[in-house]
Structure 1
């Protein structure tokens, strides 16, 4: 697998250094700048495979950098993840409407961010992301159709496999039963939302064997999320 090229735009020097360390450890080629104008120049010189972009950088705002990256032919289709301390839904929606593919709200764990970046790359650059999905101690071989937790192969039915695959592609996201029905069973499936609960129980039983921590979180009145609680 060739190294994915990342453009990191973050003006917090300590955070920029921390993220560079974590992503280089995962074999990313990281170019880091604190300046929005310089980020645009760097993107023109060598188009990245993914952009991590802080909302609150000095000078040219992150949202404006995102807008301009989407207008440039070199980066029109490059995935962009916004890093933001803003938790309000309106701000998140504004970022997505400007062209961001995903957002991560500070504070976040670097491990979660690495997983989110991997998930975005799998959706848009599958050749870069390889054939293994992973989160915490769970690994899925999407080609060999095998799931391991702590190295032990888990027996999953086809529906539980698709359900877990969807969660692994979107770690930390909360999905309602209706959205899971669409994603896993398909839009035309004539299935009740309660069916999701049954398969979630089966998935939990399979992956939480031998007293392992439950990484499927039930979010009251909202749905389910892949969340290790770390």
Structure 2
């Protein structure tokens, strides 16, 4: 039996032909596949199924993919669930909006089966290797300066305030704060937070850093020009 049968995938798209096409290719690889045709049904199914991966169309009527992803990221039981966006739109702004909402990857329509399967397997390999839970060691909490980062609850405590960050912002902060004063290059950040096989725009890290600074303060993350970023107490 293929190890793929251990993984549950939820497909969300308002086009039945797309669901059938993607579902067929994923099932052929041995994945367990469930489907939903809108954002509200996707949230209900996700909570009962607890999938490892959600493949989510951006352009849906009613609750679109961005809104659906934002709601998924608010559900504690789905904090480790991976989200891949499907879209016919390739503009940078829509990709940034998707990553800001908590997406892990982006696939542009028309979908090429080999690309889809490759991306899905790469993401699930990262899930299996524990990249999302082991970034800063075995302790469930780390404290740096006036911040406490809780890896189990996916929250950051700043003073008396509890901050719930989008998944990628949380993982980026956790990576930087795991080794204060160490400079992480842009390549290291891409590899650790997004993965070597995932292509993101050049501005993605900068956008996430800007949003982190807005939430935790401007002085915690320092830009090392031409190299990357570091966390300072």
TM range (shorter): 0.5 to 0.7
Corresponding residue of 2:100 = 97
- Superposition TM-score, scaled by structure 2 size: 0.55
Corresponding residue of 1:11 = 14
- Superposition TM-score, scaled by structure 1 size: 0.55
Structure with the greater alpha carbon radius of gyration: 1
Corresponding residue of 1:67 = 70
Of 57, 60, 63, the match for 2:60: 57
Q: Structure 2: any 5+ residue segments left out of the alignment?
A: 131-190, 203-233
Of 30, 33, 36, the match for 1:30: 33
Asked whether the equivalents of residues 84 and 106 of structure 1 are also in contact (C-alpha less than 8 Å), the reply is yes
Aligned length: 138
Asked whether the equivalents of residues 105 and 198 of structure 2 are also in contact (C-alpha less than 8 Å), the reply is no
> Shift in Å at residue 171 of structure 1?
4.6
Q: Structure 1: any 5+ residue segments left out of the alignment?
A: 128-165, 177-230
Do residues 117 (structure 1) and 115 (structure 2) align? no
Q: Which runs of 4+ in 1 moved over 6 A?
A: none
Taking the aligned partners of 2:40 and 2:77, their CA distance within structure 1 comes to: 16
> Shift in Å at residue 3 of structure 1?
2.4
> Shift in Å at residue 59 of structure 1?
1.5
Taking the aligned partners of 2:59 and 2:20, their CA distance within structure 1 comes to: 17
> Which secondary structure state, in structure 2, belongs to the residue aligned with residue 8 of structure 1?
strand
After TM superposition, the structure 1 = structure 2 runs for residues 40-189 of structure 1, keeping only pairs within 5 Å, are 40-126=43-129, 170-171=196-197, 173=199
The verdict on how the C-alpha distance between 1:170 and 1:111 changes in structure 2, with shifts beyond 3 A counting, is farther
Asked whether the equivalents of residues 69 and 75 of structure 1 are also in contact (C-alpha less than 8 Å), the reply is yes
> Which secondary structure state, in structure 1, belongs to the residue aligned with residue 106 of structure 2?
strand
The verdict on how the C-alpha distance between 1:19 and 1:170 changes in structure 2, with shifts beyond 3 A counting, is farther
- RMSD (Å), alpha carbons: 2.4
